[in-house]
Amino acid sequence: MTRVKRIALVLASFSVFVVPLAWSQGGNAEQQIKNLVYQAVEATLKVDTNALEKLLADDYTGIRGDGLLLTKAQEIERLKSGAINYDKYDVQELKIRIYRHTAVATGMTYFNGITNGKPFGGTTLTTRVWVKQKGNWKLVSFQATRVPSAS
């Protein structure tokens, strides 16, 4: 057998094992991220700051639909203090892309609640960036862009 044929055989054999493994890990990671997005939403609705403490990376940055830039500590304090309280926070059309140890989740979010004593609500397009750190997925970045109302 020629050297080229041997190399081709090795590569073909390798791909038979590696490609299905990569697909299965991608699907698994995708489901993990989907679950984490919904855990973060649930924690936000229930003002579960302990859960958010675990989900957000220490260097987390959030950019809200109103342009407010928040660190992890500010995000958690904002909820804990009652400065913002969500009645509804519904993520739909969630799409997740995995890039080894990074995941990007985009979707449409419908929400309403009270902020600083005043009702608010609307729709945003959101992007969440998750990074696997020490074996755990952490939310490192959140960005919301307001969708103008149709009226």
What's the confidence (pLDDT) of residue 14?
43
Mean pLDDT along residues 120-138: 95
Using CB atoms within 10 A of its CB, is residue 125 exposed (0-12), middle (13-18) or buried (19+)? middle
Contact 99, 2 (CB under 8 A): no
Residue 21 has pLDDT above 80, yes or no: no
CA-closest candidate to residue 40, choices 122, 150, 139: 139
Domain CATH for 19: 3.10.450.50
Asked if residue 151 belongs to a domain, the reply is no
Give a yes or no: residue 35 inside a domain: yes
pLDDT at 1: 61
For 47-100, where are the alpha helices, taking DSSP H only? 49-55, 72-80
- 91 closest CA partner among 138, 128, 53: 128
- For residue 94, the SS3 value is strand
Tell me the pLDDT tens digit for each residue of 54-112.
999 999 999 998 899 999 999 999 999 999 999 999 999 999 999 999 999 999 999 99
pLDDT at 132 over 90: yes
Q: Is residue 10 part of a domain?
A: yes
The share of the chain scoring above pLDDT 90, in percent, equals 74
pLDDT of 16 > 80? The answer is no
Q: Is residue 128, in this structure, part of any structural domain at all?
A: yes
Indicate the number of domains in the chain. Answer: 1
**pTM for this prediction:** 0.79
18 pLDDT higher than 70: no
- Top pLDDT among 81 and 8 is at 81
Q: Does residue 55 fall inside a structural domain?
A: yes
Give the angle subtended at the CA of 122 by the CAs of 108 and 75, to the nearest 5°.
80
pLDDT, residue 11, reads: 45
Rounded to an integer, the average pLDDT of 36-45 is 96
Please, what is the average pLDDT of the chain? Answer: 86
Q: Which domain holds residue 48?
A: 3-146
